[in-house]
Amino acid sequence: MKLLLVADLHYTLPQFDWLHAVAPEFDAVVLAGDHLDIASTVPLQAQLVVVLNHLKRLAGQTRLLVSSGNHDLNGRSAAGEKTARWMEQVRRAGISCDGDRLDLDGVQVSICPWWDGPTAQAEVAAQLARDAALRAGRWIWVYHAPPSGSPTSWAGTRHFGDDALVEWIGLYSPDVVLCGHIHQSPFRQGGSWVDRIGSSWVFNAGKQIGPVPCHIEFDVDQGAATWHSLAGSQEVTFAGPAADPTPRELSF
């Protein structure tokens, strides 16, 4: 299975256009949060219309998996916590998104929403507990924030990771966690696009300017991940006896 990870597009429309060009090459595309940009001069509701159209088009090209991020919050829950209410529109379009568990060519995938308070955090904990009880074989999580203390959450001066995620990884040991959120991690000394916590692998593609987003290509069957950015390309092997979290530089 060929899988593509991208996150933090932040309403960068040329990068959505790039996704349309490459999506048919993959069995699945994961968009791990922050599709919108609260700092944009374009109103959030207008961004939603455009991004929803892009997501629907992408879903017509390949299997699409979408999680929310902190820039995607456009409503409040009954508990008064911020929530990405528009993910319901994504679900109605037939796209796998927040809260979903699915089988992807024999691999279980859990898509987690961004949580903004204790009620939503408890809901994510309950989701992972339910999915853990149904686990059979390999398990991938889509979760916008990377774990605390990981090179994938290092911004150059401090970590900006998720403490709850560290706890959940320790409880359930997913095979792979696909993240975003901290744009600088792959480019800062002490940071990285890949980490291994116990037996779990964590990936964060990062963010860059230009028409092509940072992205990670996975060959899930072969256990290989390749990161591409303006800084170059690197590869790791994340499965089998050759598994090694040290990225190898690639030349083309």
> What are 103-115's pLDDT values in tens digits?
999 999 999 999 9
The full set of domains in the chain, from first to last, is 2-250 (3.60.21.10)
- Which string of DSSP letters, residue by residue, matches 24-39? GGSSEEEEES--S-TT
Q: What CA–CA distance (Å, rounded) separates 166 from 154?
A: 14
| pLDDT for 10 beyond 80 | yes
What's the confidence (pLDDT) of residue 249? 80
| pLDDT for 6 beyond 50 | yes
Amino acid letter, 186: P
Q: How many CB atoms lie within 10 A of CB 241?
A: 6
3-state SS assignment for residue 11: coil
Average pLDDT estimate for 146-160:
96
Average pLDDT estimate for 193-217:
97
Average pLDDT estimate for 135-151:
96
What percentage of residues in the chain have a pLDDT greater than 70?
99
| pLDDT for 158 beyond 90 | yes
Reported as a pLDDT band with limits 50, 70 and 90, residue 251 is low
Q: Is the pTM of this model over 0.85?
A: yes
What's the confidence (pLDDT) of residue 252? 46
Average pLDDT estimate for 75-90:
96
What's the confidence (pLDDT) of residue 194? 97
What's the confidence (pLDDT) of residue 245? 73
Alpha carbon distances (Å) from 133 to 62, 126, 201: 28, 11, 20
- Which string of DSSP letters, residue by residue, matches 216-242? EEEETTTTEEEEEETTEEEEEE-SSTT
3-state SS assignment for residue 90: helix
| Residue whose token pair is 């860059």 | 208
Average pLDDT estimate for 155-167:
96
Q: What is the pLDDT of residues 111-134, one digit of tens each?
A: 999 999 999 999 999 999 999 999
